[in-house]
């Protein structure tokens, strides 16, 4: 079971790498932010799996905190940062 | 039996995450990418939380794991609402990748 | 090479990147990110190096926690200064 | 074991890549979002380094306060002060510095220092059973006292630099407020849990305060609370209370024994008191770092 | 015990001053600093009587806990902090009234800054030093920004970035040290680090040295200083130039004398060389500066360089250390006096330019006197503290046969004389007074403070024996 969990964690980390590409590539600011949110959710899953693999229950608390706060960055982006212009994409 | 259920759920969760990532990479506009993201990986988180809760050593830790799922759901609902509303307010059209950016 | 040492070496790379960017990139917001990356690098070296034998060491962990708090404080102060300066720029326009 | 090695390798590469992208790319949005992602990867790295306390702090601060601060700063102005970029010079410099550091550090003999054992030996007298908390609030509590002063200095600096006239409140967003009404009580609960947990497992005042501050940030973002103008006396009292309590517990024995001596039989209670005070005060203080900067920008007016 | 109160008290009154608001904050600050001065005097007396001592915060003792170590040098610097701070607090109070500003954030920040200075001077723990350096740095940046003017904010941002890069380097050095030796206690490290430090230990030392040199604004890392010290409010400039930059120098000295006492002597020439560069470059810029406060700030760059000449001479022993301590003292007092006087000139004439000083010719005699006395000390004319510091340094250089250094010291005195005379010559250009604008009245307190600080910078030379005695009680080792 632990091996499987570790493998799934690794698989999710590779998923994160793909999301990282989207963050870097865009094309739009919103896509980057969406990818960052995917990052958050996947991160929560990786943390839960790590807690199991490493047998460290406090890591579940980290996942919990991350899940609790996951909304803040997205809302801050939508309500405070995202403007039609004012940034230049490379 | 428990072992088997956990394994299946974990693999299913991984599959959902994979689908979400593919959607993020392939779907044409912000709105549909929102769908890909919020549906797929919340199912993914749910499956994995459930899989691990089945393996948990106590009720408390199982409940904690299961609490994570609704939290993730709530967060993604709030965020996708906020982003979709903002995208609409900024006049981001459907089906046109990256149209919110100036050329 | 142990996993912890790998993180310590990653910390070296992050520190160097942050240092280079803080010194060479002049855009204020970027400098804020840069010194944060630099700090994170130093934190990784701190814990990674101390635990390279595989024994968990609470002392550097506590110190890094202190360091993170200090970094947050500095980030907020820097952003306040930047935003006030940019606001004045906007007002002047 | 192989899976773990690959995991560490991918994570390390991701960290460096995200950092390089955040620092060297041209787009400001990309930079900030990559930096938030970088924070998430750091959280994972701390878990891999068996440092869940730091992972908690990194998660709470990065996803809450720092992320919101940076995103807010992005929209705060329309002026993209580009500055003169010498990006191409960064990489050669960074590679050189990193190579020197890595070469020296790799050659160090593998051994661990004497302090972990000393901490375990003194742990029973510290009043708590979680070693990191024992170091933070007892063995090296003096550092923590000064760290609180650092935060206070930063807040005073922020308030001095911003100089508001009127407190600002963002346009209210009913749907998001509904979500916040569910999330915020849960965050407070989580903060309480982390505070209580700190004595025997990862958690503690600072992480709890970061979660509280995140709750305040969320409330401000959805238009349920206002930003700070000039903080009222009540607010100032709330912020000063924790540090004052800390000083009050630290000082009395300064004459007879030494500063910050916590008698072993009461240490547990005293640490809990200090931590409870700090959680509330630092929660306000950290929230203030965001709320003092809150301004009504073109962005928050919503629809055009 | 005294030392604990010296750290707790300023923290406590900083909080109280913030709670009480600007007006009562001033009273609280004055009372607090006055008590601190008495405590510092008592501490110096205690050290003089019983020698250096170690104070274990929390009762654990190093390496588990944090130790404070008080010896002659640290007691002297704590005392200096208060001797400079007390007049400046009175000055600030009058200055705020005259400028019609409130000190809402200034007073509490001042308390935090003083706490940081005290904590830094007595810390015997590398990581604790990092925290105190951060408190000092952020406090100083916040003080520069607290004026709220645009140029102050820009200078504060630049200062903050420099300060953070420096702290980052220092922290990495501490991390490496801990990785190698498993402790951050200075006393422990002094035992563990071999007489001929290994490469990693040297690397850590180099990182910490780099960070501290940036914080001390040693040439060529001085870029942030003139803007910050030149644009901050007058009392803040005085405090920063007099004390804050000395603190990071003190940490270098402390590390060099304890952990890195086996550091190869050739390596001492690097800071000394940069110090020489600082003297020449800083003086050159001071000679060309148009703004009065800029001139004084560049003079700080030059005078700080002077301190770094000390390192190759440390082998001489107490003599070099006394010379360094005297230079710190004399410069701190003189520079505080100069900035205080410049603040008066700025307040009276409304402009910050060297040429504009001519409009003050014939008025404000006390202020001119302060300029003159402080200048005497900077130039190194007898019997000032600056003279004695230079004299002892030359003495030490002769012992070591360092003729170039003697030349540098003499040249630095002449250069200082040149830029000080740019100021003083304005006193006699009364011809230009006719076109001068109306002068604003200046509170007498401010003038007396500038004068008292300047006088102290001269008189400190007369107390040299007492100072050498205090340093001799265990020295900095």
First to last CA, chain E: 22
**Numbers of helices and strands, H then E, in chain A:** 3, 0
| Record: contact D175-B81, CB cut-off 8 A | yes
Alpha-carbon distance B78 to B73, whole Å?
Answer: 9
Interface of D with B in 153-192 (CB under 8 A): 173, 175-176, 179-180, 182-183, 186
| Of A60, A61, A79, Cβ closest to residue B82 | A79
Kindly state the percentage of chain D with pLDDT values over 70: 92
* Distance (Å, whole) CA A66 – CA B17: 18
Q: What is the pLDDT of residue E316?
A: 80
CB E327 within 8 A of CB E407: no
For range D194-219, the mean pLDDT: 94
No. of H helices and E strands in chain B?
4, 0
* Distance between CA atoms of residues E87 and E93, nearest Å: 10
| C78 in contact with D, Cβ within 8 Å | no
C93 three-state secondary structure: coil
Beta bridge partners of E70: E53
Report the pLDDT averaged over residues A36-62.
90
> What are the tens digits of pLDDT across the range E177-220?
999 999 999 999 998 888 888 889 999 999 999 999 999 999 89
Q: A17: which 2 tokens?
A: 């790498």
User: Could you report the per-residue pLDDT of D245-270, keeping only the tens digit for each?
Assistant: 999 998 877 777 788 888 888 899 99
Q: What local confidence, expressed as pLDDT, does residue D304 receive?
A: 33
Q: What is the mean pLDDT of residues E383-408?
A: 89
Average pLDDT of chain E to the nearest whole number: 90
Q: What φ, ψ does residue E263 adopt, rounded to 5°?
A: -50, 130
What chain B residue is nearest to A19 in terms of C-alpha separation?
B21
DSSP string across chain D: -HHHHHHHHHHHHHHHHHHHHHHH-S-HHHHHHHHHHHHHHHHHHHHHTT-HHHHHHHHHIIIIIIHHHHHHHHHH-S------B-HHHHHHHHHHHHHHHHHHHHTS-----SHHHHHHHHGGGTS-S-HHHHIIIIITHHHHHHHHHHHHHHHHHHHHHH--SS---PPP-HHHHHHHHHHHHHHHHHHHHHHHHTTTSS--HHHHHHHHHHHHHHHHHTTSS---SSPPHHHHHHHHHHHHHHHHHHSGGGTTS-TT---HHHHHHHHHHHHHHHHHHHHHHHHHHHHTT----SGGG---
**Residue B26 burial by Cβ neighbours in a 10 Å radius (0-12, 13-18, 19+):** exposed
Angle between helices E245-257 and E199-216 (to 10 degrees): 160
The per-residue pLDDT for E431 is 52
Q: Which two tokens stand for residue A63?
A: 């996942």
Q: What per-residue confidence (pLDDT) applies to A90?
A: 31
In this complex, which of C17, C53, C56 lies closest to D19 when CB atoms are compared? C17
SS3 E55: strand
Question: Which phi and psi (to 5°) does residue D110 adopt?
Answer: -85, 110
Interval E136-159 mean pLDDT: 94
For D176, the closest of B71, B78, B90 (CB atoms) is B78
Whole-angstrom distance, CA of residue D90 vs CA of residue D23: 9
Please count the residues of chain C: 93
Nearest beta carbon to residue D110 from set C3, C33, C52: C52
Q: CA–CA separation, C31 vs E386, rounded Å?
A: 40
Does D216 score more than 80 pLDDT?
A: yes
Residue E66, SS3? strand
Structural element, H or E, at residue E56: strand E53-57
Rounded CA Rg of chain C:
16
pLDDT in tens, B44-64: 999 999 999 988 888 888 999
> Does the pLDDT value for residue B98 go beyond 50?
no
pLDDT at E360: 80
Q: How far is CA E40 from the centre of its chain?
A: 17
Cβ E236 vs Cβ E89: under 8 Å:
no
Determine the average pLDDT of the residues in C14-23: 94
- Coil, strand or helix at E53: strand
What is the DSSP secondary-structure string of D224-269? SS---SSPPHHHHHHHHHHHHHHHHHHSGGGTTS-TT---HHHHHH
Q: How far apart are CA E162 and CA E363, in angstroms?
A: 40
Task: Decide if A80 and D71 are in contact by the 8 Å CB cutoff.
Answer: yes
Distance from CA of D182 to the nearest CA of E (A): 34
Instruction: Decide: D179 and D214 in contact? Cβ < 8 Å.
Output: no
Task: Tell me which H or E stretch contains C81.
Answer: helix C58-92
What is the pLDDT averaged over residues C35-62?
94
| Both tokens assigned to E319 | 């003599």
* Rounded CA separation C86/E416 (Å): 39
pLDDT interval class at E418 (50, 70, 90): very high
Least confident of C63-67, D78-82, D182-186, E123-127: D78-82
**Chain E residues contacting C, CB < 8 Å?**
127, 130-131, 134, 138, 141-142, 145, 150, 153-154, 156-157, 160-161, 164-165, 167-169, 171-172, 174-176, 178-179, 182
Residue E17 has pLDDT above 50, yes or no: yes
User: Of D169, D284, D165, nearest to D223 (Cα)?
Assistant: D169
Alpha-carbon span E55 to D254, nearest angstrom: 10
What DSSP state is assigned to residue E194? -
């Amino acid at each position: 079971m632990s091996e499987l969990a570790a493998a799934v964690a690794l698989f999710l980390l590779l998923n994160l790498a793909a999301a990282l590409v989207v963050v870097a590539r865009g094309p739009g600011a919103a896509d980057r932010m969406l990818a960052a949110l995917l990052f958050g959710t996947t991160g929560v899953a990786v943390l839960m799996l790590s807690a199991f693999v490493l047998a460290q229950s406090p890591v579940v608390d980290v996942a919990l905190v991350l899940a609790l706060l996951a909304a803040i960055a997205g809302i801050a982006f939508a309500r405070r940062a995202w403007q039609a212009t004012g940034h230049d994409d490379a | 039996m428990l072992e088997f259920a956990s394994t299946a759920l974990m693999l299913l969760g991984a599959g959902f995450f994979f689908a979400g990532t593919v959607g993020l990479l392939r779907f044409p506009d912000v709105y549909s990418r929102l769908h890909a993201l919020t549906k797929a990986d919340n199912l993914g988180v749910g499956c994995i939380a459930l899989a691990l809760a089945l393996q948990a050593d106590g009720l408390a830790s199982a409940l904690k794991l299961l609490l994570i799922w609704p939290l993730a759901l709530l967060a993604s609902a709030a965020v996708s609402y906020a982003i979709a509303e903002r995208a609409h307010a900024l006049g981001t059209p459907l089906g046109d990748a990256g149209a919110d950016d100036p050329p | 090479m142990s996993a912890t040492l790998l993180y310590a070496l990653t910390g070296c790379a992050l520190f160097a990147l942050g240092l280079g960017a803080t010194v060479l990139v002049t855009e204020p917001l970027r400098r804020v990110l840069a010194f944060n990356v630099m700090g994170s690098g130093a934190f990784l070296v701190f814990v990674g190096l101390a635990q390279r034998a595989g024994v968990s060491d609470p002392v550097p962990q506590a110190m890094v926690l202190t360091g993170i708090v200090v970094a947050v404080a500095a980030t907020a102060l820097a952003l306040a200064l930047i935003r006030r300066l940019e606001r004045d720029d906007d007002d002047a326009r | 074991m192989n899976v773990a090695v690959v995991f560490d390798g991918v994570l390390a590469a991701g960290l460096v890549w995200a950092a390089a992208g955040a620092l060297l790319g041209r787009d400001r949005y990309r930079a900030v979002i990559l930096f938030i992602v970088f924070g998430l990867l750091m959280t994972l790295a701390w878990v891999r380094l068996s440092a869940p306390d730091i992972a908690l702090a990194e998660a709470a601060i990065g996803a809450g306060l720092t992320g919101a601060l940076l995103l807010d700063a992005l929209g705060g102005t329309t002026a993209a002060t580009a500055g003169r970029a010498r990006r191409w010079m960064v990489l050669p410099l960074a590679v050189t510095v990193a190579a020197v550091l890595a070469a020296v550090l790799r050659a160090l003999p593998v051994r661990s220092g004497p302090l972990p054992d000393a901490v375990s030996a003194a742990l029973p007298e510290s009043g708590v059973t979680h070693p990191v908390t024992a170091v933070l609030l007892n063995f090296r509590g003096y550092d923590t006292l000064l760290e609180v002063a650092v935060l206070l200095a930063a807040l005073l600096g922020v308030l001095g630099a911003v100089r508001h006239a009127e407190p600002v409140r963002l346009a209210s967003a009913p749907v998001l407020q509904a979500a916040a009404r569910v999330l915020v009580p849960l965050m407070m609960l989580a903060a309480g849990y982390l505070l209580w947990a700190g004595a025997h497992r990862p958690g503690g005042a600072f992480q709890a305060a970061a979660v509280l501050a995140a709750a305040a940030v969320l409330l401000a973002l959805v238009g349920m609370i206002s930003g700070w103008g000039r903080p009222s006396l009540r607010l100032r009292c709330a912020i000063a209370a924790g540090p004052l309590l800390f000083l009050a517990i630290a000082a009395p024995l300064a004459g007879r024994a030494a500063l910050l001596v916590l008698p072993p039989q009461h240490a547990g209670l005293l640490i809990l008191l200090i931590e409870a005070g700090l959680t509330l005060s630092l929660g306000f203080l950290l929230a203030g770092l965001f709320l003092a900067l809150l301004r009504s920008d073109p962005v928050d007016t919503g629809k055009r | 015990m005294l030392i604990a109160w010296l750290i707790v008290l300023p923290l406590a009154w900083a909080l109280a001053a913030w709670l009480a608001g600007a007006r009562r904050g001033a009273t609280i600050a004055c009372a607090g600093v006055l008590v601190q001065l008495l405590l510092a005097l008592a501490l110096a007396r205690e050290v003089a009587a019983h020698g250096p001592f170690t104070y274990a915060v929390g009762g654990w003792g190093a390496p588990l806990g944090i130790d404070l170590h008080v010896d002659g040098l640290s007691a002297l610097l704590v005392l200096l902090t208060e001797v400079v701070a007390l007049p400046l607090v009175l000055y600030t109070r009058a200055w705020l009234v005259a400028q019609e500003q409130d000190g809402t954030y200034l007073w509490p920040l001042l308390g935090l800054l003083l706490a940081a200075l005290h904590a830094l001077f007595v810390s015997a723990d590398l990581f604790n030093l990092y925290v105190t350096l951060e408190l000092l740095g952020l406090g100083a940046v916040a003080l520069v920004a607290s004026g709220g003017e645009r140029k102050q904010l820009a200078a504060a941002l630049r200062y903050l970035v420099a300060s953070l890069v420096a702290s980052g380097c220092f922290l990495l050095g501490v991390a490496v040290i801990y990785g190698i030796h498993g402790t951050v206690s200075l006393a422990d490290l002094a035992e563990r680090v071999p007489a001929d430090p290994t490469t990693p230990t040297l690397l850590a030392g180099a990182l910490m040295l780099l960070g501290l040199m940036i914080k001390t604004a040693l040439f060529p890392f001085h870029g942030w200083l003139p803007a910050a010290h030149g644009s901050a409010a007058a009392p803040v400039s005085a405090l920063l130039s007099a004390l804050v930059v000395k603190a990071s120098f003190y940490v270098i000295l402390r590390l060099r004398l304890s952990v890195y006492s086996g550091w190869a002597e050739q390596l001492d020439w690097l800071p000394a060389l940069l110090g020489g560069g600082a003297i020449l470059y800083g003086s050159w810029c001071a000679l060309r500066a148009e703004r009065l406060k800029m001139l004084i700030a560049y003079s700080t760059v030059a005078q700080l360089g002077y301190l770094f000449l000390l390192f190759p001479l440390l082998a001489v022993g107490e003599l070099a250390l006394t010379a360094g301590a005297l230079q710190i003292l004399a410069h701190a007092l003189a520079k505080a006096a100069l900035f205080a006087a410049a603040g008066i000139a700025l307040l009276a004439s409304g402009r910050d330019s060297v040429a504009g000083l001519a409009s003050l010719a014939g008025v404000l005699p006390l202020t001119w006197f302060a300029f003159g006395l402080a200048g005497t000390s900077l130039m190194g004319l007898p019997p000032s503290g600056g003279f004695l510091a230079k004299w002892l340094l030359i003495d030490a250089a002769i012992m070591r046969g360092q003729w170039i250094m003697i030349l540098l010291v003499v040249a630095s005195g002449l250069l200082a004389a040149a830029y000080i005379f740019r100021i003083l010559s304005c006193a006699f250009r009364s011809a230009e007074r006719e076109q001068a604008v109306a002068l604003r009245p200046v509170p007498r307190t401010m003038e007396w403070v500038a004068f008292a600080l300047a006088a102290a910078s001269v008189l400190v030379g007369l107390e040299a024996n007492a100072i050498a005695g205090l340093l001799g009680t265990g020295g900095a080792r």
